[in-house]
Structure 1
Amino acid sequence: MRYRTLTLALLPALAIAESATPSEYQTPEGWRTECLGRSQFDIPSTPVWQLQIPYGDTVDYVATAPWANRSLDYGTDPGNGIYKFVRIRVSTKTTREAYEHASRVELPNETKAKIRVLEARIEARKARFDAEGGDKEQYIQDLLALDEENKKYREMIAEITMVQSVIDFFEEEGRPTEELEEELAGYEKQIAALPTDERYEKERAFELGIPDAAGAWHPDRMVAVLWRNNRIFHFEFGPKNGKYDSSIEAIEPAARDLLARFRPREAFEIPTEPGVCVPFGFIADDGTENYYAGFSWHVKSTPYVLNSLTLSNSATDAIELLPMLTKRLMGNPFPAALVATNIGPRRIDIGNSRGTLTGRSLQAIDPDGDRLSAHAQYNLNAGAVAGKYTPTLLYKLQTYANDQPPPPIEQAEADVLNFMKSFRPLPGMQALYEAAENQQ
């Protein structure tokens, strides 16, 4: 109740999602139905999702929060009741080698633990000098010596990999390898003598009991990496504030249960049961868990027009998201160089609810002739607070200057309105809502 009161206090009347009379809507030609969170909607049939880097090669945009989101937060930690039990990221289509690399990055690694010890020695010497002062010349000499030690062992680790590769090649060729094996043993002995850090002592890998999957427990989080349909699905369990006060006994069974309920899906495949969609994936559930989904995409033919969508059924998230929609647009910072035209705010249909549309168009002024440029750059924002069966929604369409002009703003605005009208619950969620209505 406290969250609801606070949320309402933040909102001007224009921003509250109310029930709307269903309007005539037909899926535009060339559009198809996709899903995110517990909602489905219609978009052009050639979306290119801005997914987790470095596994993709899509156009990357420099954007500020919340538009840069590329993840889904979901569920409640069973150990402490904190919302956002897991963060899920998805790759573009990639290679098995990329998945193997992603798994190695997450699994405990003794060599990396030894390197962290060397790096920690450097940081400790810096901290001691900052706190206590002392002979500056000796301090510099100490840092140089520690840095040289770090460099020596890093080069030695690289030599181990290279020498082992040469040994493997020589063995295939039937050539002698005794000297190389002796050299390798010398390197390995020196590396083995290095200590590991406390973090490594608390890490462990474990089997998830499902194919093409790797799991690791770290002091501050639990991670699972899945290889499905030529994509990497990365699950990070644990709080997002860097402090971890749950336990493996509480986390691991719940994580295994969630991973068992997760499945990949094809583009435009709409699950029929209750649950939550991510791009190319789906978590089946009972329809009650909170989630926060933030993803972006562009249509293949317009790579410099970025669509960003954030959905959440959490009251806490609504408090954070809504001011981004209702805040006033800043004034024109360059009145002599730009003509700024505000759009809205005005009321629009978002599925069977009502929401708000705002935006701005910027058109450059030719300094030599006082003429306007042929093409405007623009952004359009739409959204609303959660209704009875609809999530809090925040959407932004943003154009980026380049040699390819964006679609006319009139077309973009019409597309946004159709996109907003198309919002409706997933089939499985709709069935739950109808059952709840029938019981009242």
Structure 2
Amino acid sequence: MKIRMASQGLLSRAILMAVVALVSCGQSGQARESKTTTGTDRFGRPVEIPNPTREDRIKATAPEYISNDRLRAECLGRLTFDVPVAAELEWATPRKTSHQGVFENLSQYFENGTGKGHIEIETRELRTVLAVYGPITPELREEFLGYRVRMQAASLSGLSDALKRQKEYEELYKRRPELLGPGIKESLAKDRAELEKELADIKADQYEKAIDLGRPDSMALRADLKAAKPYLRGAIVLGKHIVAFESMLRGFENYVEPTEAQWAVAEGAIRKLISQLQPRNLYEIPKDRGFCLPYAFLRDDGTYGNKISTSFRFGDSPAVIYTLSVAAIPGGGASETTLLNATGRSATGLLSHLPENTTVKQRLGPRPAKIGALTSEQGGIVVEAKRPGQPPREGYHVYTGYAGWAGSQILPTIEVVMESAARASYPKLTKDAPPYEQARPRLDALLKSIRLRPTTPPMPELVGIQ
């Protein structure tokens, strides 16, 4: 009896397990995809992240979108998008370095001050900010590639002057020993020793030590920033443009100087990263995995973390600025809250201090929208400014955002902003932006065309599902 009851219990459990398995597999008999998967965070540690379904991943490619011969493709990050053949696209690439310093405020903007952008790439060893400048001139080339030589010369001159003054102080105290108070003699000796060591380091080529990137027309160095984290700086000429970079070494406590072995690892990492950079012509769409940048391309294996944002405009309408932003942080960095952004930019809070004689003409959303095949949120505002003796002028700011999937490289956070620039704020502008209703069709067409750039081999998240 006991044996028969045990057998019945085993049979019941077997039937229950079979039912559970059948439910899990669905009617087709195929196992359902797990809602989560194991990824790797920015420090290489395994973490649990959301797992997009096959359908979610296919949407990244906007499979139903069809281009035509009146459009041509351009790309940014891992995305591609279409622009009218009749309107030449211009990326925000500055032609001069920042007035704050050659490697300060590495960012993208137009020569008239409009536009913005920030390019950041994360690998296991480095977090690197890049900026594309150009078209290149002899002056711009010298500013970057001659940076280390100038810094060495300036430091050598400054330290030589400081040592000269130090010796004058010592001579003074020798003549007037009564001026020597407690500890002054020791302090003078310590200061002199430090100055002499710094001078010796510069003469021995140890200050801001040079790094051979293994590429022509390039320069790199260990940056002596006296900052909490150690950095590398450098630049490389790519075709008609120059790419500057500043890399922070990761995994260090504040104010901890790397050992020579740790510096060597970091230098190997930046050498590898820069070896993957190549020039890219406008409208040239690479097939490799990697990131499109303005006039450049950075190859990778499909896993590098990235935050890439750059403005562009069209030659026939320079006062309308578009900014495309993407962000994918490995291991599930938090996605942007696009609904809140869309809501906020629909409210007067965005322009809470409107100029005199300016009124809100229209609030846009918040409302659902599409970026390619991806369900997104949109919001914005249109204002009208009255001008004495002139027709009223419209200004607008329209935000569209897709929150993305944490840890996904093919479904990143995507944000698109279209905004008008006022000639009163940017005197170099030659014409006003067209009214919003005239600008909107071009924005709608841009949003519709945004999709994942196809690569060979496919991105890791698409392998085996296309």
Bin the TM-score by the shorter chain. 0.5 to 0.7
5+ unaligned residues in a row in structure 2: which ranges?
1-35, 42-46, 51-55, 98-107, 164-194, 225-229, 424-429
Q: CA RMSD in A?
A: 4.1
**What's the counterpart of residue 237 of structure 2?**
227
Give the conservation status (yes or no) of the 8 Å contact 1:108–1:203.
Answer: no
- More off after superposition, 266-275 vs 392-401: 392-401
Verify the 8 A CA contact 1:17 1:386 in the aligned structure 2.
no
Between the aligned partners of 2:340 and 2:241, the Cα distance in structure 1 is: 35
- CA deviations 1:99-148 (Å, max 9, x no partner) are 13311114573321145559999xxxxxxxxxxxxxxxxxxxxxxxxxxx
- Of 250-259 and 232-241, more deviation after overlay is shown by 232-241
Listed as ranges, the matches of 1:98-247 within 5 Å are: 98-107=140-149, 109-114=151-156, 117=159, 196=199, 201-219=206-224, 220-238=230-248, 247=262
Kindly indicate whether residue 113 of structure 2 is the aligned counterpart of residue 61 of structure 1.
yes
1:107 touches 1:216 (CA, 8 Å); kept in 2?
A: no
Q: Does 1:72 align with 2:77?
A: no
Residues 402-421 of structure 1 mapped to structure 2, 5 A cutoff:
402=423, 404-421=431-448
| CA distance 1:437–1:52, change in 2 (3 Å) | same
Counterpart for residue 178 of structure 1 = none
Residue equivalent to 2:363: 342
* CA distance in 2: counterparts of 1:296 and 1:242, whole angstroms: 35
Q: Which amino acid letter does the alignment assign opposite residue 411 of structure 1?
A: Q
- TM superposition shift of 1:338: 2.5
Change (3 A) 1:381 1:435: closer
Identify the structure with the greater helix proportion.
1
2:459 is aligned with 1:432:
yes
Deviations 1:324-381 (A, max 9, x none): 444352356459822311111111111121111211111124679xxx9443111111
- Check if 1:89 corresponds to 2:131: yes
CA contact (8 A) 2:386 2:392 kept: no
Mapped to 2, the partners of 1:244 and 1:292 lie a distance apart of: 26
Is 1:384 the counterpart of 2:402? The answer is yes
**How far apart in 1 are the matches of 2:161 and 2:399?**
46
Q: Percent identity?
A: 23
Deviation at 1:31, TM superposition (A): 3.6
Residue of structure 1 in register with 2:181 after alignment = none
Task: Check conservation: 2:380, 2:397, Cα contact below 8 A.
Answer: yes
Q: Report if the CA contact (8 A) 1:350-1:420 is conserved.
A: yes
SS of the equivalent of 2:465 reads helix
Separation in structure 1 between the aligned mates of residue 460 and residue 373 of structure 2, nearest angstrom:
14
Q: 1:52 to 1:338 in 2, by over 3 A?
A: closer
1:36 equivalent to 2:51? Answer: no
Corresponding position of 1:393: 414
Alignment length, in residue pairs?
347
Q: 1:424 to 1:430 in 2, by over 3 A?
A: farther
Instruction: Give the TM-score of the pair, scaled to structure 1.
Output: 0.67
Please give the TM-score of this superposition, normalised by the length of structure 2: 0.63
Q: State the secondary structure of the residue aligned to 1:342.
A: strand
Asked if 2 retains the 8 angstrom alpha-carbon contact of 1:364 and 1:373, the reply is no
Please identify, of 282-291 and 243-252, the stretch whose mean Cα deviation from structure 2 is larger.
Answer: 243-252
Q: Match of 1:105, as an amino acid?
A: Y
Change (3 A) 1:221 1:421: same
Q: Does 1:253 align with 2:273?
A: no
In the alignment, the residues of structure 2 paired with residue 197 and residue 308 of structure 1 have an alpha-carbon distance, to the nearest angstrom, of 48
* Aligned mates of 2:387, 2:343 — CA distance in 1: 32
For 2:93, the aligned partner's letter is L
Contact 2:238–2:296 (CA under 8 A) maintained in structure 1: no
- Distance change in 2, residues 1:23/1:364 (3 Å): farther
Residues 1:309 and 2:324 aligned together:
yes
CA distance in 2, matches of 1:88, 1:120: 35
Change (3 A) 1:320 1:212: farther
Shift of 1:431: 2.3
- Per the TM alignment, residue 291 of structure 1 is displaced from its structure 2 partner at its CA by 0.5
The one-letter code sitting in structure 2 at the alignment partner of 1:337 is: N
Report the secondary structure of 2:272's partner residue.
helix
Amino acid at match of 2:414: L
Q: Highest relative contact order (Cα 8 Å, sep 6+), 1 or 2? A: 1
Instruction: State the match for 1:360 in structure 2.
Output: 381
Q: Which amino acid aligns with 1:76?
A: T
Counterpart residue type for residue 68 of structure 1: K
